[in-house]
Amino acid sequence: MGLDISVMIADWSWLGEAPQRERLERLRDAWYADETGLWDYGTPEPEGEFTWPQGPDSTYFALYEFRRTMDSFKAHFWAGERWESVRDYADPQVRAGLDALLIGLIWDGPDGEAQHIDPDFFCDDPEISYGMLLARSPESVRELATTWERVEPLLGGLSAAFTEHAANPGRSVGELSEFTDLLEDWGRVLNEAERRGWGVVGLSQ
pLDDT tens for 30-56 read 998 888 877 665 566 688 899 999 888
For residue 129, give the amino acid letter. S
pTM: 0.94
Taking residues 140-156, report their average pLDDT. Answer: 97
46 three-state secondary structure:
coil
43 three-state secondary structure:
coil
Distance, in Å, from the CA atom of 194 to the CA atom of 136, rounded to the nearest integer, reads 11
Quick one: the chain helix, strand, coil %, rounded to 5?
Answer: 50, 15, 40
Closest residue by Cα to residue 157 from 184, 181, 176, 171: 176
Mean pLDDT over the full length of the chain? 92
Closest residue by Cα to residue 106 from 86, 85, 136: 136
